[in-house]
Amino acid sequence: MKTPQLNEPDIALVHDESGEVTLYIDDVQAMQGWEKSLMWRSADLLCERGGEFLEVGLGLGYSALRIAGRADTYRHTVVEKYPKVVELFHAANPEPPATLEIVQADFFDFVDRLQPDSYDGVFFDPELPKALFEDRRLLDEFMPKVVRALRRGGTFVPMFSLDGDVPDAATCTASAAVMLDRYLRFFDRVLVERHKYHAYANTAYTPAQQGDAFILCFTKD
Ligand SMILES: C[S@@+](CC[C@H](N)C(=O)[O-])C[C@H]1O[C@@H](n2cnc3c(N)ncnc32)[C@H](O)[C@@H]1O
């Protein structure tokens, strides 16, 4: 699949004096430290029955470490497009769990190599340009391949969604209604959990500095 994503964007990991962490990809806030608890809960829902998992987008590695670190995970593969993100992760985490394998690839190429019935769960949180995120033809092309790669009873958890109108600066952040509209038709069941989020004062991609976040966990029966 050909997608119009930059191959060599500027990537910067910024730790400010108050302890806040932001991963910037071409000046876009791709990931921030306040998301950690939501990433952990998303990972726990994804992995409830243990097994072998796939994740798209390494970011700060919060969800990757949570999934790979579980006693009942025997393998966790993370597909990350940018070598610099992988390098930053290894610098911060020199001894990741042995279950964790990071593959440097563009997911939209990698998806064609997925084997049927090979994962118990897929966590999907790549930072995509808005036009790509909203491209329904692309979604209809790759999602059947993801679903086919899931075993029966397998789970799919996308980036959490937020209550309220997301600002234009948000690329892949959306309301729960938008996420249900994107993904529910590919699955048989969905569980929705509501959590409070507390973003940073400089967060550009949330409707407010705090509010409700919804984690959606879809299941293939
Ligand atoms: C929001 S971060 C992931 C955050 C992660 N869940 C965590 O807990 O830190 C999104 C990641 O997706 C990666 N990404 C963007 N496009 C991608 C693609 N086409 N294939 C694979 N990874 C991609 C970005 O480089 C970035 O590292």
Q: Which atom of ligand 1 is nearest to the CA of 55?
A: 6
Phi then psi for 36, rounded to 5 degrees? -55, -50
How high is the pLDDT of residue 4?
66
In angstroms, what is the span from residue 81 Cα to ligand 1's centroid? Answer: 7
77 - beta bridge partners? 54, 101
Q: Give the residue, out of 29, 84, 127, with the most ligand 1 atoms within 8 A of its beta carbon, to mutate for a pocket test.
A: 127
**CATH number of the domain to which 149 belongs:** 3.40.50.150
Our mutation pick for probing the ligand 1 site, out of 21, 62, 125, 142, counting the most ligand atoms within 8 A of Cβ, is 125
C-beta of residue 187 within 8 angstroms of C-beta of residue 124: no
- Integer Cα distance of 72 and 97 in angstroms: 13
Assess if residue 11 is contained within a domain: no
Strands 28-32 and 51-56: unpaired
Q: Which atom of ligand 1 is nearest to the CA of 58?
A: 27
Q: What was the pLDDT predicted at 153?
A: 97
* Enclosing domain of residue 162: 32-219
Name residues whose C-beta falls within 8 Å of residue 18's C-beta, 6 or more positions apart in sequence: none
Give the model's pLDDT for residue 166: 86
- Tell me which residues have their CB closer than 6 angstroms to ligand 1: 5, 25, 30-31, 39, 56-63, 79-82, 85, 106-108, 125-128
Chain segment 169-184, per-residue pLDDT in tens: 788 889 999 999 999 9
Whether the Cβ atoms of residue 194 and residue 146 lie closer than 8 Å to each other: no
In a domain, 157, yes or no: yes
String of DSSP letters for 43-61:
HHHHTTT-EEEEEE--TTS
The per-residue pLDDT for 6 is: 75
Q: What is the position in ligand 1's atom list of the atom closest to the CA of 35? A: 8
- Domain contains 98: yes
pLDDT of residue 171: 83
Task: Look at residue 175 and tell me if it is in a domain.
Answer: yes
Residues 6+ apart with CB under 8 A from 216: 157, 158, 160, 161, 176, 179, 180, 183, 190, 191, 192
Domain annotation covers residue 186: yes
Q: Please check whether residue 8 lies inside any domain of the structure.
A: no
| pTM for the whole structure | 0.97
71 inside domain = yes
**Tally of domains within the chain:** 1
What pLDDT shows up at residue 220? 97
Q: Is residue 46 part of a domain?
A: yes
* Among candidate residues 64, 57, 67, 55, the one with its CA nearest the CA of residue 31: 57
Atom of ligand 1 minimally distant from the CA of 60: 9
Q: What is the reported pLDDT for 1? A: 60
pLDDT tens-digit map of 137-191 = 999 999 999 999 999 999 999 999 999 988 887 888 899 999 999 999 999 999 9
Positions of the chain with pLDDT under 70:
1-4
Residue 7 has what pLDDT? Answer: 77
Report the pLDDT value the prediction gives residue 76, as an integer from 0 to 100. Answer: 98
